[in-house]
Structures are given as C-alpha cells and as structure tokens.
C-alpha cells in the first residue's frame, strides 16, 4: 500500500522531508525489535543481549524490561504499548498536567499527558534505581529508551526523567506509533535537550500519532521519521522537520485511530519477540 506524501513547502524555513541513510534505517529497525519484544511476557535475551531486570506494575499494568548491550555499550529501557483495559484507561486520561516525577524539573509551563505520567511514575523508581546501578558499573554505556504506541510515549517520559537524574549520561529515545505526549513547551524542551537523539517513527497512515489533536494543546516533538510507502526501506523513510509538527509528514493524513498500519513496523508485526 502506498501513502502519498505531501511535499509542498508551506513555510519558508521548512524543507521537504528527505530519505534517510541505510545506517540510520538499520538503527530504527534495531530499536524497534526491543520495543516489540516488550510485549512478550518473558524475554530472556532481548535482541540477543543480557536481561538486567523485568519491569512490571500490577496496578497500572505497565511492563517492559531493561537490557544491557555490551557490544554497543548501551543500557536499554524498553516499555510495552497498550495491551489491557488498564492501559486503555491510561491512554484516555488526556488532561495536560505538570511533569511531576522524581528528580524532574522542567520549564514552569511544560505539560504532559496525565495518563502517561501516572503510568511512568508507577515504574519510575524501579527504572531509575536499575539504570543508576548499571551506570555505576558501566560508566562508558549510553542509555536508550524505546517503545511502541503507549510504550513510545512512556519511553519519551523515561528519557526526560533519566536525562534529569543522570546528567552525565548519553541518552537517546526511540518511539514507534506514539501519540502526542505533551504541549509545545514540553516538545520544545525535548527538542532542545535531545535533538536528533529523540527519534519518533511513524508507519504510513498509522492514526495513533495524530489521534490526540493539537487543538487540545498537544504538540509532537521531533524528529519524525515517516516510513510513508511500502515496502519499508531507508529510501521510503523520510526525515521530517525537527520542530515536530511537519505538515509534510504523517500529519498530512487525517487520523484514522488504531488501524493496520499501527500494528506493523518495518514489516514486523507488533508483538513479535526478539528474545533469544
């Protein structure tokens, strides 16, 4: 299926999206394998690497894991997307609230999705403790957060929290099919602190990333990588404007909510485990 891209330049300062390199495309696929593995109840070898700890909160039903990749020298936090009624209730709690979380202090008017914040705060002490322990014994390791859908929004909040709590650590974040997670002040903060280290991937006409409208005060962070046509490849994946809300990217297609495009990224069915 082909999803036509609108490549007209609507603002003088914005350039049309451009295709990405093969190396970057490989990274996007690589970290998606962690994100899809987070749906597995048991993942002994995430992406072929060492499992540090499984993450789980029975009240919010948030789950995932932390892995250590000795080859890439990375500590990876992978968080699962929506898979239960509790998750859906979190998704539906769309009031924008201050980012109140251990060790976090953002610009005063910064606001985030209240349901996502409750979900993140339900596991944040466990994640911060485990990542801190890993960094203490692996000082040369970077930290990567990743997730699909709800998990992608949680990965973003996790990255901000980790960056605030471990200021000397290199931190990157990857989200796949994630909805808008905060207001423009929050997204501007993310863009300023992370830049190209915050990667937001959208597949075709996946309606979840645009399901929460900007009219409610929400705003995407950048950089969006829009895999706009099939088959998936670096040539069919476009790097959009780093501001976050590029009218030439996935936002050019009206939201259809949860659809088939949301369930598959890079030809991989969401939920496929890479755990051996």
Q: So which residues are the catalytic ones?
A: 149, 206, 262
Q: What are phi and psi of 164, to 5 degrees?
A: -75, -35
- In 107-246, which ranges are continuous DSSP H helix? 114-121, 124-137, 150-165, 184-194
The DSSP line for 92-139 is: H---EE----TT----TT--EEHHHHHHHHTTHHHHHHHHHHHHHH-T
Helix axes of 150-165 and 124-137: crossing angle, nearest 10 degrees: 50
Inter-residue contact 203 to 262 (CB < 8 Å): yes
**Cβ atoms within 10 Å of 176's Cβ, excluding its own:** 32
Take residue 185 and report the two structure tokens written for it. 């002040």
């Amino acid at each position: 299926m082909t999803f036509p891209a609108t490549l007209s330049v609507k603002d003088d300062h914005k350039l049309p999206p451009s295709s990405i390199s093969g190396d970057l495309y490989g990274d996007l696929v690589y970290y998606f394998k962690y994100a899809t593995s987070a749906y597995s109840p048991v993942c002994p070898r995430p992406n072929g690497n060492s499992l540090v700890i499984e993450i789980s909160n029975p009240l919010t039903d948030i789950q995932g894991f932390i892995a250590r990749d000795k080859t890439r020298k990375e500590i990876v936090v992978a968080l699962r997307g929506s898979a239960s009624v509790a998750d859906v209730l979190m998704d539906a709690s769309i009031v924008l609230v201050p980012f109140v979380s251990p060790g976090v202090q953002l610009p005063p008017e910064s606001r985030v999705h209240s349901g996502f914040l409750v979900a993140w705060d339900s596991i944040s002490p466990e994640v911060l403790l485990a990542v801190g322990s890993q960094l203490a014994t692996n000082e040369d390791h970077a930290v990567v957060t990743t997730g699909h859908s709800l998990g992608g929004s949680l990965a973003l909040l996790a990255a901000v929290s980790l960056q605030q709590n471990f200021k000397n650590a290199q931190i990157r974040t990857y989200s796949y099919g994630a909805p808008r997670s905060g207001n423009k002040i929050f997204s501007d903060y993310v863009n300023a602190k992370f830049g190209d280290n915050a990667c937001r991937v959208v597949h075709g006409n996946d309606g979840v990333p645009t399901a929460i409208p900007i009219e409610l005060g929400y705003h995407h962070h950048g950089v969006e990588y829009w895999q706009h046509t099939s088959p998936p490849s670096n040539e069919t994946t476009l790097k959009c404007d780093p501001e976050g809300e590029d009218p030439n990217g996935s936002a050019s297609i009206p939201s259809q909510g949860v659809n088939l495009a949301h369930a598959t990224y890079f030809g991989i069915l969401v939920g496929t485990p890479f755990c051996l």
